[in-house]
Each structure stands twice: as structure tokens, then as C-alpha cells.
């Protein structure tokens, strides 16, 4: 029997129940994720992709079903509790960081991800700063020399690179990437995707990435999942994915 890194068992989510705006967003999602899987998740607007990531991270309690991380149920845990073992990067570079705090201070918070606020201190020791400098240097943006710069003063691409680094600083059991390059210009988006793949590969992370870039969906990861109307309608492994073209994926959207 395979021990999966992460499992979704028949989850349902309906918003605005009992009103004219009732919307059944997730309709009995089942998914098994092996350790080291890098899943690209595609689908049209309203297909449920981001809602699925929100359900996994704990943004809201799910109506029905189970979420198992390393065979332990996590659906009853609060979002900050799940943050101990789930990393996340959002589409907006302004989310996930504290703009008035320095790069080093933001990284220090990331080191204590999941801890209660009362236990988080701004102070960063010289040893920690030295470690952060090495980590940031890997981004190849020259930011290792600007650790005392407020993160709100960085460009969108620089900030997203730091956010990405923060999400993997504690090597999460599961990394969620929610269209994390969509708000960046094409050149920076390409760079961030390259760094994303390097970090996932180097740390042997298990990851799920929502993307509207179909070329990225084919180029990265070992698995491709497509959602439509709250359901998974396509699940391709590495071999099947390599046989697909962008044009063929586009055609699936119209079926």
C-alpha cells in the first residue's frame, strides 16, 4: 500500500449556502499526491483551482471531506497551524510579507512559520543574517547586500523572489504556488519560474502550482491536472504530459 505525501478525499465546498448566490465550487475532489510530485494545476476562471489551494491551506473550513498530510488529517487545523508544514506563494507580490520590515526580518519570521505572534521577535542575530545572506545570494539578484532594506521598497519581482525563498526556508511538507508569476512581466516571470524549479528540485519538495501559462504547465513538474466546474477532469503523468502540446491543451478548454 502506497503511503502518499498528501491526499484529498472527496472534498466539497459551497459558498453562500441557501442564498441566490449559492455556488458549489468544489464538487467531490479526490487527489493522491506522492512525495516529490510537482503538480501543475490548470483550468479556466471559476474552475476551482485557487479555491482548492485555499481549502488546503486552511483559509476556510471545508464543508465535507478529508485532507491528509503524511496520513494525518489536517482539515480541522487552523490556517496558522497548517503554516508549520505548508508553504504558500500568492499571485500578488505584496502578500506574504511585511512591507515595513527588512528582508532579514521577514526571513526571520519565515523561520518561525506557524509560531504564535507572541513568540516572534524582530531581532536577527549575526549568525542568522549570515545564513540569510547565503540563502538570498542563490536568487542572483544582489539582495544579499541589502538585507536591511525594507521589503516594501523592492520591485515586484524582487519581492516575489524573497517571498518564494521565505516559503521554502523551513522546507515545507507541501508547497502551494497560486499563479505566483502572473503579476510579473514576462522576463521576470521566466526568472521566477526558473528559481522555483531550482528550489523545488534542490529540496525535493512536494508542490502544487496553479498557472494560466500553458507552456509552463507543460515545461515544469511531473504531473498536470486540469479542473473544470469544480472537478478534476484530466490528470496526466510525466510521460503523458510530454506528449501534449500547448495547442492540444487549449482545445481541451473548449470541450
pLDDT at 114 > cutoff 90: no
1 belongs to a structural domain: no
Domain coverage including residue 116:
6-253
pLDDT of amino acid 119: 45
What is the pLDDT at residue 118?
42
Q: Provide the pLDDT confidence category of residue 207 given band limits of 50, 70 and 90.
A: very high
pLDDT reading at 151 higher than 70: yes
The CA–CA distances, whole Å, from 48 to 38, 42, 61, 204, 230 equal 19, 10, 15, 27, 5
Q: What pLDDT is recorded for position 40? A: 98
Q: Confidence class of residue 120 from pLDDT cuts 50, 70 and 90? A: very low
- Is 238 part of a structural domain of the chain? yes
pLDDT of residue 252: 86
Instruction: Give the pLDDT confidence of 58-99 residue by residue, as tens digits.
Output: 999 999 999 999 999 999 999 999 999 999 999 998 888 889
- Residue 159, in any domain of the structure: yes
Where residue 110 sits, what CATH number does that domain have? 3.40.50.300
Q: 186-203 vs 156-168: helix axis angle to the nearest 10? A: 10
Beta strands in the chain (DSSP E): 6-15, 23-33, 38-43, 64-69, 72-73, 86-89, 174-178, 207-210, 223-228, 231-237
Asked whether residue 41 is domain-assigned, the answer is: yes
Mean per-residue pLDDT, 19-25? 94
Task: Check: CB of residue 89 under 8 Å from CB of residue 96.
Answer: yes
> Per the domain annotation, does 232 fall within a domain?
yes
Average pLDDT score over the chain: 91
Give the count of domains, the chain.
1
Q: Which residue has the higher pLDDT, 254 or 172?
A: 172
In a domain, 213, yes or no: yes
DSSP string, 163-175: HHHHHHTT--SEE
Q: What DSSP designation does 245 have?
A: -
Amino acid at each position: 500500500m502506497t503511503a502518499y505525501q498528501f491526499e484529498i478525499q472527496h472534498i466539497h465546498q459551497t459558498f453562500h449556502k441557501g442564498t441566490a448566490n449559492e455556488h458549489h465550487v468544489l464538487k467531490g475532489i479526490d487527489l493522491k499526491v506522492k512525495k516529490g510530485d510537482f503538480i501543475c494545476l490548470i483550468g479556466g476562471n471559476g474552475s476551482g483551482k485557487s479555491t482548492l489551494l485555499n481549502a488546503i491551506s486552511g483559509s476556510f473550513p471545508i464543508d465535507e471531506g478529508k485532507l491528509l498530510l503524511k496520513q494525518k488529517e489536517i482539515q480541522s487545523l487552523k490556517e496558522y497551524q497548517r503554516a508549520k508544514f505548508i508553504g504558500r506563494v500568492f499571485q500578488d507580490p505584496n502578500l506574504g510579507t511585511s512591507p515595513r520590515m527588512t528582508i532579514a526580518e521577514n526571513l526571520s519570521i519565515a523561520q518561525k512559520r506557524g509560531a504564535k505572534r507572541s513568540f516572534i521577535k524582530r531581532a536577527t542575530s549575526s549568525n542568522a543574517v549570515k545564513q540569510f545572506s547565503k540563502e538570498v545570494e542563490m536568487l542572483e539578484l544582489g539582495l544579499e547586500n541589502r538585507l536591511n532594506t525594507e521589503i516594501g521598497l523592492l520591485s515586484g519581482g524582487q519581492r516575489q523572489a524573497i517571498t518564494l525563498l521565505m516559503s521554502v526556508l523551513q522546507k515545507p511538507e507541501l508547497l502551494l504556488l497560486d499563479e505566483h508569476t502572473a503579476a510579473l512581466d514576462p522576463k521576470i516571470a521566466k526568472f521566477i519560474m526558473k528559481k522555483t524549479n531550482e528550489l523545488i528540485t534542490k529540496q525535493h519538495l512536494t508542490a502544487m502550482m496553479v498557472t494560466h501559462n500553458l507552456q509552463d504547465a507543460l515545461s515544469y513538474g511531473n504531473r498536470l491536472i486540469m479542473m473544470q466546474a469544480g472537478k478534476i477532469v484530466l490528470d496526466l503523468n510525466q510521460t503523458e504530459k510530454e506528449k501534449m502540446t500547448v495547442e492540444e491543451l487549449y482545445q481541451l478548454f473548449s470541450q
